[in-house]
Amino acid sequence: MSAVDVLEMLAMLGMAVLALISSVFYGISNLLYSLVPKKFRVKNIEGQVVLVTGGGSGIGRLLCVKLAKRGARIVTWDVNEAGNEETMTQVRAAGGQCYIYTVDLSDRHAVYAAATKVKQEVGKVDILINNAGIVTGKNFMEAPDELIQKTFDVNILSHFWTTKAFLGDMISSNKGHIVTIASVAGLAGVNKLADYCASKFAAVGFDESLRLELKVGGYTGVKTTAICPYYINTGMFEGVKSKLIPILSPEYVSDEIVDAILLDYYDLVLPRFCRYLILLKYILPFDGAYKLYKACGGHLTMSEFQGRSKPEEKPNGLEDKLLDKKSMA
């Protein structure tokens, strides 16, 4: 072994030790910080503009109302005009301000045009919550091509267009927050959700890469948060059965998301123990992980999937039994 090889090995060992020490230090720091009462740690968003995509129903609507109660000025984008109007009614009833825009998020040009109007009519967006999404819930070979394309257009590509539209202002002021509503299905594959999982894996990767890019660029005031919940009882995943992990209530999830935003979490997995279950797929061999997956009933969760029986929209005229509107899951 040459002297150069020895030096390289020593350098790598030194970096590994440094990384371990840093992990321990930041772990202790975070633990101590978490002991401080939450009311002293949350940021003030009074007067800030919060834009929620898919704000016309479900989790999106709940976030609009809850953040309005915190003093935020709400902008909701949704393809469903009636749903948007109902959200505005509820926000105003809660004492908040709400601006509504009917936007097809799968249309990049429509997104950019709506963003320009928001900046002119409302002002700079301080917090962007990419919440809108859709699900087909079919076996891969049974999913029509146009629905696969639509899933990616709404669930991930729209994040690029909305973030591009508003991130520049955040970078200029070194202040802002991009929130990505992803899914546990963006951390582990699910039977009959190939297109959905792929789009959510992409959303998780988008958030992490963007966070690193902002960090490297020195924009420490611009935060990003990835939200990864399990199935939520909003109707989007109507018919889904879960043997081990409880299906989550919309109120609980929306409360947790608001806390994650106000506390500048990097990510949030719900239920929290799912974070550790997912680690098993990296530890166990595939066959072992699959046995555990079956024992927990994971392979059958989508077997009775129906989606919304009374959907609030039919994107691009597609039949609602094939394409369901998301409030998020």
Contact 104, 110 (CB under 8 A): yes
Judge whether 231 counts as a catalytic residue: no
User: 26, 33, 112, 196: which one is catalytic?
Assistant: 196
Determine the length of the chain.
329
- Token look-up 């109507």 returns 238
User: Residue 79 and residue 202: Cα distance in Å, rounded?
Assistant: 23
User: Residue 145 and residue 279: Cα distance in Å, rounded?
Assistant: 32
Supply φ then ψ for residue 186, to 5 degrees: -95, 5
Supply φ then ψ for residue 304, to 5 degrees: -115, 25
Q: β-pairing, 49-53 with 73-78?
A: parallel
Cα dist from 288 to 80, 264, 279, 291, whole Å? 44, 36, 13, 5
User: Residue 61 and residue 122: Cα distance in Å, rounded?
Assistant: 19
User: Residue 10 and residue 119: Cα distance in Å, rounded?
Assistant: 53
- DSSP assignment of 113-168 equals HHHHHHHHHT---SEEEE---EE----GGGS-HHHHHHHHIIIIIHHHHHHHHHHH
Q: Which residues are catalytic?
A: 196
